[in-house]
Homo-oligomer: A and B are copies of this chain.
Amino acid sequence: MARKKEFDEDELLNKAVALFWDKGYHATSAQDLVDGLGINRSSLYNTYTDKRTLFTKSLRQYQAKNTGAVLSMLKNVVNAQEAITQLLYAVIKESEEDELAKGCFMVNTAIELSSHDKEIGSLVAENAKSVEDAFARTIEKGQQDGQFTKAKSAKALAHFVFSTISGLRVSARSGVDKQTLEDIVEVALSALKA
Protein backbone atom coordinates (compact mmCIF):
# COMPACT_ATOMS: atom_id res chain seq x y z
CA MET A 1 0.00 0.00 0.00
CA ALA A 2 2.96 2.29 0.48
CA ARG A 3 6.67 2.68 0.32
CA LYS A 4 8.67 0.80 2.94
CA LYS A 5 10.55 2.63 5.65
CA GLU A 6 14.23 2.61 4.84
CA PHE A 7 15.39 2.35 8.42
CA ASP A 8 14.86 0.25 11.49
CA GLU A 9 12.90 2.32 13.97
CA ASP A 10 14.21 0.45 16.98
CA GLU A 11 17.81 0.74 15.89
CA LEU A 12 17.25 4.42 15.22
CA LEU A 13 15.85 4.89 18.69
CA ASN A 14 18.98 3.32 20.13
CA LYS A 15 21.06 5.85 18.26
CA ALA A 16 18.88 8.63 19.62
CA VAL A 17 19.36 7.27 23.13
CA ALA A 18 23.13 7.38 22.66
CA LEU A 19 23.02 10.99 21.47
CA PHE A 20 20.72 12.33 24.19
CA TRP A 21 22.52 10.25 26.78
CA ASP A 22 25.84 11.78 25.84
CA LYS A 23 24.93 15.44 25.46
CA GLY A 24 21.58 15.82 27.17
CA TYR A 25 18.38 17.26 25.78
CA HIS A 26 19.19 20.93 25.31
CA ALA A 27 22.70 20.45 23.94
CA THR A 28 21.55 17.97 21.31
CA SER A 29 20.27 19.91 18.31
CA ALA A 30 17.96 18.77 15.57
CA GLN A 31 20.98 18.88 13.28
CA ASP A 32 22.90 16.59 15.65
CA LEU A 33 19.99 14.17 15.45
CA VAL A 34 19.83 14.30 11.66
CA ASP A 35 23.57 13.68 11.44
CA GLY A 36 23.71 11.09 14.20
CA LEU A 37 20.70 9.08 13.11
CA GLY A 38 21.68 9.28 9.46
CA ILE A 39 18.18 10.03 8.25
CA ASN A 40 16.50 13.01 6.71
CA ARG A 41 14.86 15.82 8.62
CA SER A 42 11.46 14.98 7.20
CA SER A 43 11.72 11.34 8.17
CA LEU A 44 12.73 12.36 11.67
CA TYR A 45 9.79 14.69 12.22
CA ASN A 46 7.47 12.45 10.29
CA THR A 47 8.33 9.50 12.52
CA TYR A 48 8.79 11.16 15.89
CA THR A 49 6.64 14.32 15.72
CA ASP A 50 9.23 16.60 17.32
CA LYS A 51 12.43 16.68 19.32
CA ARG A 52 10.79 16.41 22.71
CA THR A 53 8.71 13.43 21.67
CA LEU A 54 11.81 11.72 20.34
CA PHE A 55 13.47 12.41 23.67
CA THR A 56 10.69 10.88 25.73
CA LYS A 57 10.63 7.87 23.41
CA SER A 58 14.38 7.56 23.86
CA LEU A 59 13.95 7.71 27.61
CA ARG A 60 11.32 5.00 27.49
CA GLN A 61 13.56 2.91 25.27
CA TYR A 62 16.36 3.27 27.81
CA GLN A 63 14.00 2.36 30.60
CA ALA A 64 12.75 -0.72 28.77
CA LYS A 65 16.25 -1.97 28.06
CA ASN A 66 18.32 -0.95 31.08
CA THR A 67 15.83 -0.75 33.91
CA GLY A 68 14.08 -3.74 32.43
CA ALA A 69 17.28 -5.77 32.64
CA VAL A 70 17.74 -4.83 36.28
CA LEU A 71 14.17 -5.67 37.18
CA SER A 72 14.25 -9.05 35.49
CA MET A 73 17.58 -9.83 37.11
CA LEU A 74 16.06 -9.09 40.50
CA LYS A 75 12.90 -11.02 39.68
CA ASN A 76 14.06 -14.38 40.92
CA VAL A 77 17.04 -13.83 43.14
CA VAL A 78 18.47 -16.77 45.05
CA ASN A 79 21.29 -14.94 46.82
CA ALA A 80 20.22 -11.40 47.67
CA GLN A 81 23.61 -10.22 48.83
CA GLU A 82 25.29 -11.48 45.69
CA ALA A 83 22.66 -9.82 43.55
CA ILE A 84 23.06 -6.38 45.14
CA THR A 85 26.84 -6.73 45.07
CA GLN A 86 26.80 -7.64 41.41
CA LEU A 87 24.50 -4.74 40.67
CA LEU A 88 26.84 -2.20 42.24
CA TYR A 89 29.95 -3.60 40.58
CA ALA A 90 28.09 -3.64 37.29
CA VAL A 91 27.85 0.15 37.55
CA ILE A 92 31.63 0.32 37.88
CA LYS A 93 32.19 -2.04 34.99
CA GLU A 94 29.78 -0.09 32.84
CA SER A 95 31.51 3.20 33.55
CA GLU A 96 34.86 1.58 32.83
CA GLU A 97 33.76 0.49 29.40
CA ASP A 98 32.17 3.82 28.59
CA GLU A 99 34.95 6.06 27.36
CA LEU A 100 32.45 8.88 26.80
CA ALA A 101 31.59 8.97 30.53
CA LYS A 102 27.89 9.18 29.82
CA GLY A 103 26.90 8.06 33.31
CA CYS A 104 23.23 7.11 33.57
CA PHE A 105 20.65 8.50 31.17
CA MET A 106 18.01 8.58 33.89
CA VAL A 107 20.22 10.39 36.40
CA ASN A 108 21.35 12.86 33.76
CA THR A 109 17.75 13.51 32.78
CA ALA A 110 16.65 13.84 36.40
CA ILE A 111 19.21 16.59 36.84
CA GLU A 112 18.59 18.33 33.55
CA LEU A 113 14.82 18.18 33.21
CA SER A 114 12.96 16.72 36.20
CA SER A 115 12.38 19.99 37.97
CA HIS A 116 11.20 21.85 34.87
CA ASP A 117 9.30 19.23 32.87
CA LYS A 118 6.52 17.56 34.81
CA GLU A 119 5.91 14.75 32.35
CA ILE A 120 9.55 13.76 32.12
CA GLY A 121 9.91 14.27 35.84
CA SER A 122 7.23 11.74 36.61
CA LEU A 123 8.66 9.33 34.07
CA VAL A 124 11.97 9.51 35.90
CA ALA A 125 10.27 9.23 39.29
CA GLU A 126 8.24 6.24 38.17
CA ASN A 127 11.39 4.57 36.93
CA ALA A 128 13.09 5.22 40.27
CA LYS A 129 10.13 3.81 42.17
CA SER A 130 10.06 0.57 40.20
CA VAL A 131 13.78 0.06 40.80
CA GLU A 132 13.57 0.91 44.48
CA ASP A 133 10.66 -1.46 44.94
CA ALA A 134 12.65 -4.26 43.34
CA PHE A 135 15.59 -3.37 45.56
CA ALA A 136 13.37 -3.44 48.63
CA ARG A 137 12.01 -6.90 47.79
CA THR A 138 15.50 -8.26 47.24
CA ILE A 139 16.85 -6.65 50.39
CA GLU A 140 13.94 -7.97 52.42
CA LYS A 141 14.83 -11.44 51.28
CA GLY A 142 18.44 -10.79 52.25
CA GLN A 143 17.30 -9.70 55.68
CA GLN A 144 15.31 -12.90 56.13
CA ASP A 145 18.34 -14.91 55.06
CA GLY A 146 20.45 -13.12 57.65
CA GLN A 147 22.65 -11.43 55.04
CA PHE A 148 21.48 -7.87 55.54
CA THR A 149 21.01 -5.85 58.69
CA LYS A 150 17.58 -5.61 60.22
CA ALA A 151 18.51 -2.40 62.01
CA LYS A 152 16.92 -0.49 59.13
CA SER A 153 13.82 -1.22 57.10
CA ALA A 154 14.22 -2.83 53.71
CA LYS A 155 12.70 0.27 52.19
CA ALA A 156 15.25 2.53 53.86
CA LEU A 157 18.09 0.32 52.69
CA ALA A 158 16.62 0.33 49.20
CA HIS A 159 16.56 4.13 49.17
CA PHE A 160 20.15 4.05 50.27
CA VAL A 161 21.26 1.64 47.56
CA PHE A 162 19.47 3.64 44.91
CA SER A 163 21.06 6.84 46.14
CA THR A 164 24.46 5.15 46.17
CA ILE A 165 24.01 4.22 42.53
CA SER A 166 23.01 7.81 41.70
CA GLY A 167 26.14 9.01 43.45
CA LEU A 168 28.25 6.49 41.56
CA ARG A 169 26.73 7.66 38.32
CA VAL A 170 27.49 11.29 39.06
CA SER A 171 31.08 10.33 39.84
CA ALA A 172 31.28 8.23 36.70
CA ARG A 173 29.99 11.09 34.58
CA SER A 174 32.60 13.32 36.20
CA GLY A 175 35.28 10.88 35.15
CA VAL A 176 36.66 9.69 38.50
CA ASP A 177 38.95 6.64 38.56
CA LYS A 178 37.95 3.05 39.19
CA GLN A 179 39.51 2.86 42.65
CA THR A 180 37.31 5.68 43.91
CA LEU A 181 34.20 3.95 42.61
CA GLU A 182 35.28 0.72 44.30
CA ASP A 183 35.80 2.56 47.58
CA ILE A 184 32.25 3.82 47.40
CA VAL A 185 30.78 0.43 46.59
CA GLU A 186 32.68 -1.36 49.33
CA VAL A 187 31.66 1.07 52.03
CA ALA A 188 28.07 1.06 50.82
CA LEU A 189 27.95 -2.72 50.89
CA SER A 190 29.32 -2.75 54.42
CA ALA A 191 26.38 -0.62 55.50
CA LEU A 192 24.00 -3.36 54.42
CA LYS A 193 25.67 -6.26 56.16
CA ALA A 194 24.01 -7.95 59.11
Contacts and interface: CB of A to CB of B under 8 A. Distances in A.
29 contacts: A24-B112, A101-B114, A101-B115, A107-B111, A107-B170, A111-B111, A111-B170, A114-B173, A114-B174, A114-B175, A115-B175, A124-B174, A125-B174, A125-B176, A152-B186, A153-B183, A156-B183, A156-B184, A159-B184, A160-B184, A160-B188, A162-B167, A165-B167, A166-B166, A166-B167, A166-B170, A167-B167, A188-B191, A191-B191
A127 to B, nearest CB: 10
Interface of A: 22-24, 26-27, 100-103, 107-108, 110-112, 114-116, 121, 124-125, 128, 149, 151-153, 155-157, 159-160, 162-168, 170-171, 173-176, 180, 183-184, 186-188, 190-191
Contacts of A188: 160, 191
A159 to B, nearest CB: 4
B23 A116 contact: yes
Number of chain copies forming the complex: 2
The secondary structure that dominates the A interface is helix
Contacts of A160: 183-184, 187-188
B191 A190 contact: yes
- What are the 3 A-B residue pairs with the smallest beta carbon separation, nearest first? A191-B191, A167-B167, A163-B167
